[in-house]
Amino acid sequence: MKNCILCLFFKLSLLGSQIGNTQVKSLFRNLYKKFTRNYSIVSNEYDSYFGEIEKNKEKSKYSCKYLKYWFYDQAIANNINESDIDFFPSLWSNLVRSLPGIRDFPCEFYSLKLDEIKEIKQLYDYFALYDGYPDEALRNFKIYDSVHCKYFKEAIDFYKRMKSRCPNNESSEYCKEFHEYSKDSKFEKALLSFRGICKHKTLNTTPGGGDETKVTLDQDLQKLADRDNILNDILLSQFYEVLNIGFNNYEESHICNNLIKDSNSYHITKICNKLNVILQNWDQILKSFESVINRNYCEYLNYWIHDQIKDKMFRKKTTTLIYTVWDILNKHKINSNNKCWYKNFNVPEKDFKNKKKLYEFLEYYNAIKSKMEKIDSSKKEEYCEYLKSIFSLYYTVKHEDLCKKSTVYKDEVGYFQKTIKDGDLAFLKKNCPGKNIELLFKKEQSSPGKGNQNPQLTKGKVNIYEN
């Protein structure tokens, strides 16, 4: 469980409590004892167990939500009947009067029916996710990727219905509970930021924005990764999805709007606004992936943002404008040690697609090798065909650069030669007999990629990332 404080409730509830009440019915007694203990904890009677709340004022204001979440979860899980649920409000009043020093703790329990508790608990489930993953992009990805995605979508729909059902002047117990829950405007904004998209379903259309571009791996690699469940072996695909889901909604930036004023450049402004939000949240994105390594994720962002530009009219103009804005946005990030700069992908579209295809293959190459070592020969054929197409592409672009005395594929050739070891050629020959893949690769000292492991930038920037 991501939320440490909520987790503590469930652990401490196993300890029981010395506080009892002879009026409590037998089926309800055990839950009530656990409840009184947890209530004492959040009201700081036992602050040695709950020091984190005392230290964290932001968390302490959610103490009541933690308590209600735990109680509603236990009431449902233990099949507490309707009569016991009805009996609880009077027990609550007695508890507040009987425990010294806790009357100032602002937590109110309302008279709810069991069905109402089951409904409202959907919102508390979302709150637990929200509090455990404060970063919006990561939280929305967790929902999108979860087997419970549909459940969270229903929670959002329920919230919208309750907003209509419970205007501010509605004073029913059910609506009082909802008003208490929803009074934090930041949480409402976070709740509604998820657009109800679940994995394996087509992304929705952003209002006024046309069809959103979903960036994925190269089609052939995506097919293999989906089939054999190797997507999660490398974070590249997860990173794409975090950006796809978390940053399709954005606030307009005055920088983007001022610099890109052409009325025919709506899609450029849209990409610019996405980039602005991502760069502003770059430190948090790195943190959400539990990484301090900026380099790989900066590469991933570059492929993601440039993929948004492909298949657009005036692609070269669009790319140039994005680079100008990218520089300005980074210069405004004066309080961050992590910066991600653009990589110069202002090349013909065919070349960018080839570069992306080669890069993604190299990121997944070790995962592909590992999978091929575990599957039987009948399933290797598709991998071998994919590998042959990639090595053929490498051979073609490498010699294209040599013939044209070009450096378009300098980075990809260098990365390819760094990744593919001598032992890999024997592996390819053994696992893909007759394909002659090994003949398409030969390390040459005159390779255009020699000594170019780090991507070079225009304007004298050495690396696309800063730490």
Looking up tokens 């530009």, which residue turns up? 309
Give the model's pLDDT for residue 215. Answer: 85
**pLDDT attached to residue 262:** 57
Per-10-residue mean pLDDT of the chain, 467 residues long, equals 43 37 47 60 48 48 74 78 69 58 63 85 81 72 75 82 83 88 77 66 36 77 87 81 76 74 66 88 82 78 91 80 89 78 92 96 94 88 94 95 94 94 90 91 53 37 56
Q: Which residues is 206 bridged to in the sheet? A: 210
| pLDDT for position 441 | 87
Predicted local distance difference test score (pLDDT) of residue 34: 62
Query: What pLDDT is attached to residue 273?
Result: 86
pLDDT score at 430: 92
- Give residue 40's pLDDT: 59
- What pLDDT is stored for residue 159 in this prediction? 86
Return the pLDDT at 361.
96
Q: Which of 178, 137, 185, 177 is nearest to 161 (CA)?
A: 178
Q: What is the model's pTM?
A: 0.58
Q: Identify the bridge partners of residue 210 per DSSP, sorted by sequence position.
A: 206
**Amino acid 277: pLDDT:** 87
Reading the block at residue 137, the tokens are 């992009």
